[in-house]
Amino acid sequence: MEFRRFRGTDKYLTSSALESAVNCALALERPLLVRGEPGTGKTQLAEAIASALGLRLIHWPVKSTTRAQDGLYVYDTVQRLYDSRFGDGDVKDIRRYIKHGPLGQSFASRDRVVLLIDEIDKADLEFPNDLLHELDRMRFVVTETGDEVIARERPVVVITSNAEKELPDAFLRRCVFHFIEFPERDLMARIVRVHHPDLDQKLLDQTLQAFYSLRDVDGLRKRPSTSELIDWIAVLRRAGIASVELEAGMPFLGALLKREQDLLVFAEAASRGRRPRA
Amino acid sequence: MFVPFLYELRDRGVKVGAQEALSLAQALGLGLHRGTLDGFYEVARALCVHREQDLDAFDRAFAHHFRGVPDDALALTDELLQWLEQPAGKRQLTELERQLLERIDLVEARERLRRRLAEQRERHDRGNRWVGTAGTSPHGSGGIHPTGIKVGESPGGRGALEVAAERRFRDFRSDVTLDTRQIEVALRRLRAFVREGALDELDVEATIDKTARNGGELEITMRPPRRSNLRVLLLLDVGGSMDPHAHVCERLFSAASRATHFKELRTYYFHNCIYGRVYESAALMRGIPVLQLLQDCDPSWRLIVAGDALMSPWELQSSGSRWSFGEDSGAPGIAWLAHLAQHFLHSAWLNPEPAVAWYGTAEVIRRVFPMYRLTQDGLLEAVQHLMRGGGRH
Ligand SMILES: Nc1ncnc2c1ncn2[C@@H]1O[C@H](COP(=O)(O)OP(=O)(O)OP(=O)(O)O)[C@@H](O)[C@H]1O
Ligand SMILES: [Mg+2]
């Protein structure tokens, strides 16, 4: 069995455990389910896999209204109806009105692709189970035309989900699982360096110090994550700020805490002088 | 050594079965674990654990099982493959898995592993051979000792055993406590939708269908919107013995009140046991007669009672005197409870105490209400029970 190993990219840093999970999924041709707090790089992972393996990425962002069927194909009946009354096209040719969804495209593609099913937990609870059948068989039939779409090359399937949601057991058992832990300080420093290669070491140390202390403040509804840290540093640099310390008036705090309520929680913690653990 | 590890995982509640064993055999056969214990930890975790709640159990099993084991990577893999070859191993496989197994050809897998290890011995210093690929070996320069499992060789400097012993995933365990978010997630499964009310949504499918049948003459079809149809009655025990559990009940209450998918939620309080009345406030003010409650809430409401079901027996049992239902009628608690349980098609009792403590009055109440632990797992089971068709336990 041939497969290319994944080892991260220069833009995306991985742990050895994450690489093992990706490689298990690649070698065993099973979907990879990645869970973790927001901002821990779940979505980016799929892009990194695609770019490392030189494959095209098909992104399927799941919404609360997404149905499994939408991923296979949609039959644009409204367009057909419209055409039949006002249009000119050949309404008899139903194939013209069959549009492949992301899953359908990934099966129909000539070359192997990476299919990212992003934030699967957003959809209905039954959604993952509905997907199982097609993911297992890697083929489906378009009922309206009788055409069968068969994957020539099994797509690499990456599925992301937020840590807080439950997924059905049957679905979970099919997947290779990895939980991306929130990066520890060293890894975080390296991730920040990826995005800000020429960042001053002193500012890096100070921002990390403030960031991790802030995450320790009790009672926050949404703790700041990697993307907020990266954005915060970007704003600080643009404003020419060279040094920060965690305090009530810390510059651009709003880049880290997006909820009004959290800003109040922090203000209170800071004013009580109850310094969070370092 | 190895198969017992899988059994140990099972003992600790990680549901590994033939499917996981098989995937693991395949992965090891492909050398995905790089012949190291650290690699084995990563691969086994990716394939045997399916939810973060089980990561801690996996870590404990691993630390316990592999501590001080300077064993042989080849033997490890061999043992698993052999187990799968044996009839005893095979008997636990499903038909599909058996077919899969036939496809991977175990003899060949083992042979390949031997070859790889032999090659690696030759190329020891270069260490750039990866089975089935032209890639480089993950820990390149070090090379992999052909027979030994290297402990603590991962690039980060910490070995799998140390990592496992840290138990970083402890907080995800599902059998300890519950935070509000976990409760919300569980309650989200408690839902039912129906189409009812005014016809104010365009039914596209039906419109097209009817229009087509009409020979293209447009026929608009409307339908009622999809609405939540689930009502929940929550009764919370605020008796003295519940004090240590007050925070869990508070979270249960706040999660339930935040849920947007209930058509209606009503919450009342009681002290130890229910007789005649329940109360709108936790301070047991503003009582409402249970009989009135049963008139307001038809049997399709889902009843959830949260309490430790601990009280003195006389609170539960009849005093012996004659009684009838009605306020202050002297009916014993157990009669009220049974009355509630019979009225509703679906009901569940959530108990914050561990199951070993369910004796005495709790034992009696358990016969009236299906009882579940007030933990993540227990709550999910309770919700499943409340959603089961037909109703009544
Ligand atoms: N390991 C990493 N290496 C490099 N950049 C990273 C890494 N992890 C996260 N980032 C950066 O953090 C940001 C957030 O990543 P991403 O959007 O993939 O997170 P996510 O887990 O999908 O979040 P959400 O749950 O909010 O969708 C991105 O800008 C990404 O580049
Ligand atoms: Mg994302």
Shortest Cα–Cα distance, A19 to chain B (Å): 9
The residue-averaged pLDDT of A244-248 equals 78
Average pLDDT, chain A: 88
> What string of H, E and C letters represents the secondary structure of A117-160?
EECHHHCCCCHHHHHHHHHHHCEEEECCCCEEEECCCCCEEEEE
pLDDT at residue number B105: 56
Which of the four pLDDT bands, split at 50, 70 and 90, describes residue B146? very low
Q: Do A3 and B132 touch (CB under 8 A)?
A: yes
State the pLDDT confidence band at A192, using cuts at 50, 70 and 90.
very high
Pairwise CA distance, residues A172 & B66, whole Å: 26
Distance from C-alpha of A277 to C-alpha of B204, rounded to nearest angstrom: 58
**Maximum mean pLDDT: which of B26-40, B137-151, B321-335:** B26-40
- pLDDT score of B131: 32
Q: Flag whether pLDDT at B42 surpasses 80.
A: yes
- Name the amino acid, one letter, at A173: R
Of A78, A85, A172, the CB nearest to B204: A78
pLDDT at A121: 87
CA A164 to ligand 1 centroid distance, Å = 17
Top mutation candidate among A226, A230, A256 for ligand 1, by most atoms within 8 Å of CB: A226
- Interface of B to A at Cβ within 8 Å reads 19, 23, 26-27, 30, 32-33, 38-39, 41-43, 45-47, 49-52, 55, 130, 132-133, 135, 138, 154-156, 168-169, 181-182, 185-186, 188-189, 204-205, 208, 211-212, 216, 218, 380
Give the model confidence (pLDDT) of B263-298 as tens digits: 888 999 888 888 888 988 877 878 888 989 999 999
Per residue in B111-129, pLDDT (tens digit) is 655 565 555 444 433 333 3
Distance CA B48, CA B6 (A): 9
Q: Which residue has the tokens 């939408």?
A: A70
**pLDDT band at residue B137 using 50, 70 and 90 as cut-offs:** very low
The C-alpha atoms of residue B54 and residue B8 are separated, in whole angstroms, by: 13
The answer to whether A16 contacts B42, with C-beta atoms less than 8 Å apart, is yes
Instruction: Give the pLDDT of residue B91.
Output: 55
Q: In terms of CA atoms, which chain B residue is nearest residue A4? A: B133
Element of type H or E holding A231? helix A226-238
Q: Give the mean pLDDT of A260-264.
A: 86
Residue the block writes with tokens 């995450």: A215
- What is the mean predicted confidence (pLDDT) over A207-227? 89
Place of tokens 């801690």: B56
- Tokens, residue A189: 């420093």
Query: Has residue B216 got a pLDDT over 80?
Result: no
Residue written as tokens 């013995």? B241
- Pick from A23, A164, A172: which is nearest to B32 by CB? A23
pLDDT tier, B152 (very low <50, low <70, confident <90, very high otherwise):
very low
Report the C-alpha gap between A23 and B28 in whole angstroms: 12
Mean pLDDT of the A244-263 span: 85
Mean pLDDT of A172-200: 93
Confidence of residue B69 (pLDDT cuts 50, 70, 90): low
- Cβ burial B274-294 (10 Å sphere, 16+ → b, else e): bbbbbbeebeeeebeebeebb
The pLDDT assigned to A262 comes to 87
Q: Is the CB of A226 under 6 A from ligand 1?
A: yes
pLDDT for position A235:
94
pLDDT of residue B99: 57
| Complex ipTM > 0.90 | no
Higher pLDDT, B3 or B323: B3
Give the pLDDT score at B219. Answer: 84
Residue B27 has pLDDT above 90, yes or no: no
* CB atoms near residue B256 (< 10 Å): 21
Could you tell me which chain A residue has the CA closest to the CA of B17?
A: A173
Nearest ligand 1 atom to the CA of A11 is 4
Q: Which residues of B touch A20 (CB under 8 A)?
A: 32-33, 39, 42-43, 46
Query: Cβ B208–A78 below 8 Å, yes or no?
Result: yes
Question: Is the per-residue pLDDT at A187 higher than 70?
Answer: yes
> Is the beta carbon of A15 within 6 A of some atom in ligand 1?
no
| Confidence (pLDDT) at A277 | 46
Whether residue B89 is predicted with pLDDT greater than 60 in this model: the reply is: no
